[in-house]
Structure 1
Amino acid sequence: MIKADGKVFFLNTKSTTYAFRVMETGQLEHMYYGRLINCDEPSVLKEKRAFAPGNTITYDDAHQDLTLEDVRLELSAIGKGDLREPMLEVICADGSTSLDFVYDSYEVISGKPEFKTLPSSYDESGKVETLNVTMKDKNHGFTLILSYSVFEECDVITRSAKFINTSDESVRLTRMLSMLMDYDHPGMKITSFHGGWTREMNKSDIVLPAGKFVNASFTGTSSNRCNPLFMISEPDSCEESGDVWGFNLLYSGNHYSATEVSSFKKTRVVYGINPQNFAWDLAAGEEFEAPEAVLTYSAAGFRQMSLNMHDFVREHITRGPWKKKERPVLINSWEASYFDFTEGSLLKLAKTAKNAGAELFVMDDGWFGDRNDDHRALGDWDIVNKKKLPGGLEGLSKKVNDLGLMFGLWVEPEMINVDSELYRKHPDWAIDIPNMDHSEGRFQRLLDLCNPEVVDYMIDRMSEVFSTPGLSYIKWDMNRNFSDYYSKYLPADKQLEVSHRYVLGFYRLLKTLAERFPEILMEGCASGGNRFDLGVLCYYPQIWASDNTDAVSRLAIQDGYSYGYPQSTYTAHVSACPNHQTLRVTPLESRFAVASFGVLGYELNLNDMKSEDIAAVKAQIELYKQYRKTLQFGDFYRHRADNIYQWSIVDKDKSTSVSMLMQREIVAGDQYLKLEMAGLDPQTKYHFFGRKLEYNVKGFGDLVNTVSPIHIKQDSLVHNLVAKFVKMPGEIEDYVAYGNTLNSNGVKLVQSFVGTGFNEEVRYFPDFGARLYFVEKADD
């Protein structure tokens, strides 16, 4: 709900209040963002001042008490005494850079308007309101519209800004961020997520008592180096308690957030497009939209902040037929064969996968042109490799469909190899600088999506591919970063617009295809998580979280994503061991347990597996399908992230819960574990049970001789024969308890093996061991 009178603005969600006012001088003073409050006027919220501090700039002669450097603001620019990070910077026609935006008017509208040039959140509930506050620059007559949309049910407020050149002369924007907000104290904790290829979303905490912390990308994408998601909290905030503010951005290009503590102990946050290597020229009458920023507040720690973000993404970001539809279990050909495949080998893999319960077969890279390695053929999407696929895409698709499987394809529409037919025809379509050596990534270059002709061409080529009969899924990849920013389509004075114009072209390409082919399930990818953001999630509902499929590595990766993205948005695959990225060996059950807490898939050569492992995969897929709705769309809870990782997911109706427990390393003599739980209905009686497993006797080494009537030499033929027919029984966990007991106490599990004995009351829990546990409403 929005309460506004032109002087004071209160934006209320079900649990939070955001408040600001118009100062006597026309600036917007930020007053409050936190727990829901009852407040009709701002006297207790606004700061009082009588004299400006020494060595500061006063705003004007009539207000000698006011220095903008010591005010909590909603908007700030260069030139009027605020020495902190600005929200926007310009170069005016006369060369000046000072701006003085003051309040002009406001409007409150029902609903959530769409952006003209960028993806944006949306609403179908009819419960969202939007506040537009118009600011006017006193010196040049520019207009700035600050927009605030209030999503009451998920405790989210989004902010954005639009610059309109209402002057008679041109202006150059050199910084145009989406939002600015000030806190009234220092020493806050900043939580952000960093990494690189195969090591995305590593959580990082820093307390900022002074100075500035910047989280920014310059890869041309939202980046695996630093995701746009970040949080600000009180230093003692934890998973279940404390004040936490969450921020995210609907943008897939270079992003920028800065948190700065001023000399007056106020903390400022600015957020939006990275101003590095950016400028945008506006002629009279033209406008520029900044991306939409997402804000949420939780008084109950990081857990509730994440639940708010998850609900917002599910209800107001992802869209289309796959928004709430259960995602199929897939088998992807990449790590099974890389570029070395034939139609026969693919169909053999598909048939085995079908028998194991898979629902979707995906042919990855290598199906077009002479693409037998990663040096050539990108761009040649109209040339199917007939040596590998004599019946073309349609022939393979029909044969896969005839097996009872959906058919999917890998594409990388934004890229081009120099060794390709497309490059030979259109070298001017590549992003590189004429007469200069180009720095490549993965032997490829970017197509110039600043050029409308290139975008139109790729829309046509991808439409042809997407129209393949029987095609149900697309994996959209993007395997390099930007290096030499240059568009041969643009004049020299527009080259600082390249990064943003590329993103706009990408969005047009993606939006057009998503609207033409709404029934196709599209999955994003950029060498894994190099473009994992809310912007692309407006067009495809899931993204490949990381090229790293190692179960241990995926713990931190998926845990990191869970802070801002629901598990239905990140995909996870069971792969071979030793793992192709780490060479680590982990149990098949552990790989499944971790992957099942994303959108599950498999990426390995099933035909090389032992029959008992194929049977295990079949059982895994059957189990996943049984709990798929809960696992993909339930509420996600983090419990532990140390040597033991624990997650749980609770169905929205609180009837069912699934928990995952994984151990990195055995701690000798550590017998006891407690499984924590959350989100269950306090008054409902539940049945708790663990997945019953059996274990290979070889896992106990020559300890088998403590129970064997004959001596068995470790790793001998006899040992292998015994292991084939004799399995060690797993522990039994089976209890009944009320939700309030499980939420408050959790479940104390049977003891771990510590070297003193083993039976069905002992948990075999080696390095990298994992368990799945289930909670269902008990029969009365």
Structure 2
Amino acid sequence: MAIQVIRDRIFQIETEHTCYQIQADRHNILSHLWYGPKTGGQVMDYLQDYPDVGFAGSIADAGNDRTYSLDTRLQEYPCEGTGDYRISAAGLEDSRGLDLRYEGYEILEGRPVLEGLPQIREAGNPLQTLVLHLADKVTEVTCDLFYVVDEENDAIIRSARFENRSGRPVWLDRTASLSLDVHHGEPVGLITFTGKHNKERQFTRRRLEQGIVSAGSTRGTSSHQQNPAVILTGPDTTETAGWAVGAMLVYSGSFRADAEMDQLGQTRLVMGINPYGFRWKLNPGESFQTPEAVLIRSDEGLEVLSLRFHRLIRQRLIPPRFRNRPRPVLINTWEAAYFNFDRKTILDIARQSADMDIDLLVLDDGWFGSRNSDNAGLGDWEVNEKKLEGSLQSLIEEVNAAGLDFGIWIEPEMVNEDSNLYRTHPDWVLKAPGRGPVRGRNQLVLDMTNPEVVDHLFQVFSKLLTDNHITYVKWDMNRSLADRHSDHLPEDRQGEVHHRYMLGVYDLLDRLTKAVPDVLFEGCSGGGGRFDAGMLYYTPQIWCSDDTDPHERTLIQYGTSFFYPPDTVGSHVSASPNHQTGRRTSLDTRAAAAMPGTFGYELDPETLDDLEREEIRGMNQLYRDLQPLIFHGRYYRLTNPGQGMALWQIADDDRVLVQGLVYETEPNALRRRVRLRGLDPKAVYRDADGMRRTGQALMTGGLLLPLTSGTDAPVTVILEREKTQ
């Protein structure tokens, strides 16, 4: 049993490698006892030993016991207004605060379904769920804490559901998905993934000091600037040693993760919907469900933590029908033509792409309405038959005849003011009353809190996808939310706009992906502005970044790899000089950077010479051969890009791919050496030249890399494991 009840009021969750303990104490406060390696059956309540700390008040129930203070104790789900001055997980807009006390528990086989939210799926080995029932007798608000246990992946999936059992409305202003308190004893580090458009998910590590460090977004999306996934570490944690706890929010909207080190050296992590601007009204009898957050712990370094998250995402998050389905090598028309194309342009790209052994052509922005720039037409999803010189389906048939499948770009959530949709429904956008709108890319945001808007979009896009032979959709979202007002919602629910917006997006995604289940959807938000576990529930891959410069991409993909496996990463070979940085690089450099992902092209085939076309044919053949390894193998970060090269390893039981870029080639230098990981020490591995080495040798002595020349020099080494007789 993954979940055990010990002495009636102590709850123990065990996964394959970890143990998590909770106690309902004598005052019915949920105390956090332990999250770490298995304890050999030991209950860790003996660590709950607290002195009388000055200015740390005690709850009324404690009487004269001044050692009992919620400002010092490790708690499972701390609330506002209880004398705990640290960051809290839950709160009401109520001067009486919120004081949730333990009332009971349930243990469920399987997991409850979260209506309208992405969630870890019930797939593969069975899950088990612990539900802890809490209640505040004064405000008559209840809270159920959910702990869904995935033993195999060492994952504990947390969420909370609030219910108003009083006879009057209440307003929630803080509803975290998880809170985790960490014992004192050693310094704690925090890893976050920061950035901006074209430079997402940059690995950022700091040592926590007394105070609060926040990572979050108020943009209505998970954002380019921060990612809803963070890691707590020990002081000396490396890729292969030390403890690390990863927390990944299964959500795509405004979020916050706060890490606080308190006056006693204890650390608290709280993660969930961003409380900034959040105010959720609960009428009597109504409930509110938070998004899920996944906790995974490793005591063998960051590498094992990543491997566990990768396995969880592959097994239990992405749509099951795409887990083992080969993905196409595609070409996207955006950097080839931008808005400036006609039918001949598209067919020329298609024929040349087919000649280079590409599988799929994606028609990007500009195929609909009056969309000849990014200033008009967004929202008018009627095919521009004048521009395409015929129907969309007739164009698709010609592309198919050339030997390619057909994909299309859409941006459902946005609208230009210069569009028929906006002129007809100006009330369908988010806009503060009495003020001019905040524009982004000269577009406004449709009010996805309004079911009428969602229904309209479903009708438009389901018709598009059923009337035309489209096999792939790139779903884009090219601005952040700014105006927080919906004409659809009453004034006392305007604090719900951001979350209801996200629920509307999830509703549309759910309905569309079910209506056309064989269509491959790729998420995008100006590149990686919504690269998160919430979107991966609906779209098995996400465009990693609009920056396709191979040097920059290795930095972006390095940060991405800590939580997200390579088969979720949209990565393409683009033109040289690169359209984002102007950097010139070779085709094999660009291919090496794009290979650990879903692979494709962002370039104009017309600009390529015969030698480059032949090189692309070879790259496509190599990628197809390697795709099963890339999509199902174990991913290892062999270097940190700060070491002057970005190298990774992907291995399964038969093959090993060592790949990456050496940023600078030194003169008069020995060949670089890198130690491989995760191999069978007794097995023999053979390279393309027939050189044989044992796994033990490769993991201890290492692999000598090929000689390189120039900057951003590509490295690709494939090792085959010899079969034993």
TM-score tier by shorter-chain length is over 0.9
Provide the TM-score with structure 1 as the length reference: 0.90
Distance 2:613 2:408 in 1: 24
Contact 2:9-2:23 at 8 Å conserved across structures: yes
Q: Would the alpha carbon gap of residues 43 and 532 (structure 1) be closer, same or farther in structure 2, given more than 3 Å must change?
A: closer
Deviations 1:613-639 (A, max 9, x none): 010001100111111100122111101
Aligned pairs (5 A) from 1:142-157? 142-157=141-156
Is it true that 1:685 corresponds to 2:641 in the alignment?
A: no
| Structure 2 partner of 1:327 | 327
Pair 1:31 & 2:33 matched: yes
Contact 2:33 2:45 survives alignment (8 Å): no
From 708, 715, 723, the equivalent of 1:771 is 715
Matches within 5 A, 1:533-572: 533-572=532-571
Q: CA deviation at 1:573?
A: 0.6
Give the direction of change, closer, same or farther, for the CA distance of 1:62–1:631 in structure 2 (3 Å limit).
closer
> Partner residue of 1:81?
83
* Cross-structure match for 1:747: 703
User: Offset at 1:347?
Assistant: 1.1
Contact 1:685 1:737 in 2 (8 A): yes
Contact kept, 8 Å, 1:524 with 1:542, in 2: the verdict is yes
The DSSP-based 3-state class of the residue aligned with 2:200 is coil
Letter in 1 for 2:195: G
**Structure 1 position 739, deviation (Å):** 1.7
Alignment of 1:615-764 (within 5 A): 615-641=614-640, 642-651=643-652, 654-689=653-688, 734-749=690-705, 763-764=707-708
RMSD (CA atoms): 1.4
Q: CA offsets, 1:481-525, max 9 Å, x none? A: 111211111122221111111011111111110111110000000
Q: Deviations over 1:716-760 (max 9, x none)?
A: xxxxxxxxxxxxxxxxx541122222222221245xxxxxxxxxx
Q: CA deviation at 1:579?
A: 0.1
- Matched with 2:473 is 474
- Counterparts in 2 of 1:160-199, with a 5 A limit? 160-185=159-184, 187-199=187-199
Cα displacement (A) at 1:43:
4.4
Q: C-alpha distance in 2, partners of 1:647/1:31?
A: 38
| Secondary structure at 1:154 match in 2 | coil
What letter is aligned with 1:48?
D
Q: Secondary structure at the match of 1:182?
A: strand
1:441 CA displacement: 0.5
User: CA offsets per residue over residues 50-79 of structure 1, 9 Å max, x none?
Assistant: x53222211125441310111000011122
| Cα pair 2:124 2:315 within 8 Å, conserved | no
Distance 2:191 2:209 in 1: 14
For residues 645 and 734 of structure 1, what CA distance do their matches in structure 2 show?
26
CA contact (8 A) 2:657 2:716 kept: yes
Task: Give the Cα separation in 1 of the matches to 2:719 and 2:125.
Answer: 35
Does the 8 A contact of 2:281 with 2:492 survive in 1? no
Question: Where in structure 1 are there 5+ consecutive unaligned residues?
Answer: 690-732, 751-762
Q: Does 1:284 align with 2:240?
A: no
TM-score with structure 2 length normalisation?
0.97
Counterpart of 1:719 in structure 2 is: none
Residue deviations 1:367-393 (CA, integer Å, cap 9, x gap)? 001111100101101x21112212221
CA distance in 1, matches of 2:549, 2:433: 42
Letter of the structure 2 residue corresponding to residue 735 of structure 1: M
Equivalent positions of 1:412-491 (< 5 A) are 412-491=411-490
Opposite residue 175 of structure 2, the aligned amino acid is: M
CA change 1:609–1:61 in 2 (3 A) is closer
Q: What SS does the aligned partner of 1:499 have?
A: helix
Q: Aligned partners of 2:701 and 2:29: how far apart in 1?
A: 51
State the alpha-carbon separation in 2 of the partners of residues 41 and 589 from structure 1. Answer: 56
Amino acid of the residue matched to residue 5 of structure 2?
Answer: A
Local SS of the residue matching 2:272: strand
Question: What is the rounded CA distance, in whole Å, between the counterparts of 1:114 and 1:397 in structure 2?
Answer: 39
8 Å Cα contact 1:272/1:290 also seen in 2:
yes
Task: Give me the whole-angstrom Cα distance separating, in 2, the residues matched to 1:169 and 1:294.
Answer: 34
8 Å Cα contact 1:329-1:360 kept in structure 2: yes
**Cα distance between partner residues in 2 of 1:41 and 1:298:** 20
Structure 2 letter corresponding to 1:401? N
CA distance in 2, matches of 1:33, 1:320: 31
Question: Is this contact kept in 2: 1:660–1:771, CA < 8 A?
Answer: yes
The CA distance in 1 between the partners of 2:273 and 2:659, in whole Å, is: 37
List runs of 5+ in structure 2 lacking aligned partners.
none
Is the CA contact (8 Å cut-off) linking 1:15 and 1:35 kept in structure 2?
yes
Give 1:404 shift.
Answer: 2.2
Q: In the aligned structure 2, how far is the partner of 1:62 from the partner of 1:678?
A: 53
**Does 1:392 pair with 2:384?**
no
State the identity as a percent: 36
Superposed CA deviations along residues 322-369 of structure 1, whole A, max 9, x for unmatched, are: 122121110111101111111111111111111211111110000001
CA distance in 2, matches of 1:158, 1:680: 30
Aligned to 1:515: 514
The whole-number CA distance in structure 2 between the counterparts of 1:676 and 1:588 is: 27
Aligned residue number for residue 7 of structure 1: 9
Counterpart residue type for residue 37 of structure 2: R
Residue-pair matches, total: 717
Would the aligned equivalents of 1:187 and 1:210 in 2 still touch at CA under 8 Å?
Answer: no
2:468 and 2:505 mapped to 1: Cα distance? 25
Name the CA distance, whole Å, in 2 between partners of 1:388 and 1:289. 46
Higher CA-based Rg: 1
Secondary structure, counterpart of 1:590 in structure 2: helix
Q: Is the 8 A contact 1:14 1:36 kept in 2?
A: no
Give the Cα separation in 2 of the matches to 1:347 and 1:596: 26
Task: Please tell me whether the aligned partners of residues 431 and 447 of structure 1 are also in contact (alpha carbons under 8 angstroms).
Answer: yes
Q: Quote how far apart the aligned CAs of 1:42 are.
A: 4.1
1:48 is aligned to 49
**Letter of the 1:196 counterpart:** K
Q: Distance in 1 between matches of 2:135 and 2:575?
A: 60
Native 8 Å contact 2:234 2:244 kept in 1? yes
Q: Is the Cα contact below 8 Å between 1:30 and 1:72 reproduced in 2?
A: yes
Cα distance in 1 between the residues matched to 2:43 and 2:705: 54
- Cα contact 1:114–1:122 (8 A) shared by 2: no
The one-letter amino acid of 1:477's match is D
1:643 maps to a residue whose letter is: G
Partner of 2:364: 364
The answer to whether the Cα contact below 8 Å between 2:662 and 2:715 also exists between their aligned partners in 1 is no
In structure 2, the partner of 1:259 is: 259
3-state SS in 2 of match to 1:227: coil
Q: Which residue identity lines up with residue 417 of structure 2 in the other structure?
A: V
Instruction: Kindly provide the amino acid, as one letter, of the partner of residue 176 in structure 1.
Output: T
Q: Verify: 1:208 aligned to 2:164, yes or no.
A: no
Following TM superposition, by how much is the alpha carbon of 1:89 offset from its aligned partner in structure 2, in angstroms?
1.1
Show the 5 A alignment for 1:240-259. Answer: 240-259=240-259
Q: Report 1:129-140 matches (<5 A).
A: 129-140=128-139
Query: Once the two structures are superposed, what CA deviation does each residue of 1:215-262 show, in whole Å capped at 9, x if it has no partner?
Result: 010111001100011101012101111101111101110000100011
| Cα distance in structure 1, aligned partners of 2:467 and 2:235 | 54
Residue number in structure 1 paired with 2:355 = 355
> Contact conserved, 2:449 with 2:488, CA < 8 A, in 1?
yes
CA distance in 2, matches of 1:255, 1:525: 18
Residues 52 and 58 in structure 1, CA contact (< 8 A), matched pair in contact too: no
Cα distance, 1:667 vs. partner?
2.6
Amino acid at match of 1:655: D
C-alpha contact 2:256 2:271 (8 A) present in aligned 1: yes
**Secondary structure, aligned partner of 1:661:** strand
- How far off its partner does 1:41 sit? 3.6
